[in-house]
C-alpha cells in the first residue's frame, strides 16, 4: 500500500516534469523568441559540454567552497553565541533591540561594504555568507535555548545535576531541533550569499558564469548556470536533512511511527 503510493508519486512527478519540458521546447521559437527563453535541448547540450570540459565543476567547486565555508563559519558562531545569550539573560535583554535592528537589515546590502573591507577574493564571499547564516542560526538557537522546558531542568536539578549536566543533557538536546531549523533555513541563503558575492565582483564561480553568460546575451548559458545552482542547492539541502536525521533519531521515529492519540 505504502510502496505503491510512493511509486505513483514518482511517476506523476516524472510526467509533470516531462510536460513542462516539452511545452517549453515546443513554445520556444513559436510562442516566444528562442533568444529569450532558450530551449531545454540546447540547455542540456550546453550542460553536457560544461560537464565534459569540467567548466561546471571548476566554477561549481568554488561556489560550493564559499557557500559551505560560510555556512559552517556562520552556523558555528551562530550556535555558540545563541547558546551563550540564551543562558545569559541580562546580556540578551540589553542586546535585544540591537540584534533585531541588525537582523532586519537585508544582509546582501552589506556586500559593497564587504568588498571595501575584504577585497574581491574568496574570503569576501565566505564572510558575506557567514553573516547571513549567522543570524538565522543564532536566532533559532537562541529561541531554542530559551524554550527549554523548566520542568525538565527542575527534574534534573533534583537529581543533583550541575550547570554542565543541565546544559548538555537538557538545554542543548532540546535546542537541537531549533538549531536544525536554522540550518535548514540557511542553506538557500548560504547560496545567495556566495552567488551575490560572485555577481558583484568575481571571475570565478557559478555566479560569475551567470553574469558572464548574461553579459554575452547567452540565455542558454544563463539557464545552464541556473541549473547548476539548483543542483547544488538540492545537494546541500539533502546533506542537511541527512545530518538532521543522524542528529535527532527520536524525530525520525516520530514521523515514521503511526499516528495515535
Partner 1 sequence: MRGREEDNMTDRDGSSDTTPLIEFRGVGKRFMVKGEPLQAVQDIDLKVREGEILTLVGPSGCGKSTLLNMAAGLFEATAGEVIYRGAPVQPYNHAVGYMTQSDHLLPWRDVAGNIAIPLEIKGLPKGEIDARVETLMETVGLSGFGRSYPNQLSGGMRKRCALARLLAYDPETLLMDEPFAALDAMLRMRMQIEIRTLCRQLGKTVMFVTHDLDEAVAIGDRCVVFTGRPGTIDRVVDVPLPPDRDILQLRKDRAYQEITATLWDVLAPAVAMEE
Binding site for partner 1 (CB under 8 A): 149, 151-152, 154-161, 165, 169-170, 173-174, 176, 248-250, 253-254, 257
Considering the complex, what minimum distance in angstroms separates the CB of residue 150 from partner 1? 10
Considering the complex, what minimum distance in angstroms separates the CB of residue 178 from partner 1? 13
* DSSP states of the chain: -HHHHHHHHHHHHHHHHHHHHHHHHHHBTTTB-HHHH--HHHHHHHHHHHHHHTHHHHHHHHHHHHHHHHHHHHHHHHHHHHHHHHH-HHHHHHHHHHHHHHHHS-GGGGHHHHHHHHTTSHHHHHHHHHHHHHHHHHHHHHHHHHTS-HHHHHHHHHTT--HHHHIIIIIHHHHHHHHHHHHHHHHHHHHHHHHHHHHHS-SSSHHHHHHHHHHTT-HHHHHHHHHHHHHHHHHHHHHHHHHHHHH-HHHHHHHHSPP--
Nearer to partner 1, 182 or 207 (CB): 182
Nearer to partner 1, 42 or 156 (CB): 156
Residue bearing cell 546590502:
109
Considering the complex, what minimum distance in angstroms separates the CB of residue 84 from partner 1? 21
Considering the complex, what minimum distance in angstroms separates the CB of residue 22 from partner 1? 45
Considering the complex, what minimum distance in angstroms separates the CB of residue 250 from partner 1? 4
Nearer to partner 1, 87 or 169 (CB): 169
Nearer to partner 1, 137 or 171 (CB): 171
Considering the complex, what minimum distance in angstroms separates the CB of residue 43 from partner 1? 45
Nearer to partner 1, 55 or 251 (CB): 251
Nearer to partner 1, 143 or 152 (CB): 152
Amino acid at each position: 500500500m505504502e510502496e505503491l503510493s510512493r511509486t505513483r508519486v514518482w511517476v506523476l512527478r516524472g510526467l509533470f516534469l516531462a510536460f513542462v519540458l516539452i511545452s517549453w521546447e515546443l513554445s520556444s521559437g513559436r510562442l516566444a523568441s528562442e533568444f529569450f527563453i532558450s530551449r531545454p535541448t540546447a540547455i542540456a547540450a550546453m550542460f553536457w559540454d560544461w560537464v565534459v570540459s569540467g567548466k561546471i565543476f571548476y566554477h561549481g567547486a568554488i561556489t560550493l567552497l564559499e557557500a559551505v565555508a560560510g555556512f559552517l563559519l556562520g552556523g558555528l558562531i551562530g550556535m555558540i553565541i545563541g547558546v551563550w545569550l540564551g543562558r545569559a539573560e541580562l546580556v540578551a535583554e540589553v542586546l535585544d533591540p540591537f540584534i533585531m535592528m541588525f537582523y532586519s537589515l537585508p544582509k546582501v546590502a552589506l556586500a559593497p561594504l564587504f568588498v571595501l573591507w575584504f577585497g574581491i577574493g574568496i574570503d569576501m564571499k565566505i564572510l558575506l555568507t557567514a553573516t547571513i547564516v549567522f543570524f538565522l542560526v543564532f536566532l533559532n538557537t537562541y529561541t531554542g535555548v530559551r524554550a527549554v522546558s523548566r520542568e525538565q531542568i527542575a527534574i534534573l536539578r533534583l537529581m543533583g545535576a550541575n550547570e554542565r549536566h543541565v546544559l548538555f543533557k537538557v538545554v542543548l538536546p532540546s535546542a537541537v531541533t531549533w538549531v536544525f531549523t536554522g540550518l535548514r533555513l540557511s542553506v538557500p541563503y548560504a547560496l545567495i550569499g556566495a552567488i551575490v558575492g560572485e555577481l558583484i565582483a568575481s571571475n570565478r564561480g557559478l555566479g560569475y558564469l551567470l553574469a558572464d553568460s548574461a553579459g554575452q546575451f547567452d540565455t542558454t548559458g544563463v539557464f545552464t548556470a541556473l541549473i547548476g545552482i539548483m543542483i547544488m542547492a538540492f545537494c546541500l539541502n539533502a546533506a542537511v536533512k541527512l545530518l538532521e536525521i543522524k542528529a535527532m533519531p527520536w524525530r525520525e521515529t516520530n514521523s515514521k511511527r503511526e499516528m495515535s492519540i
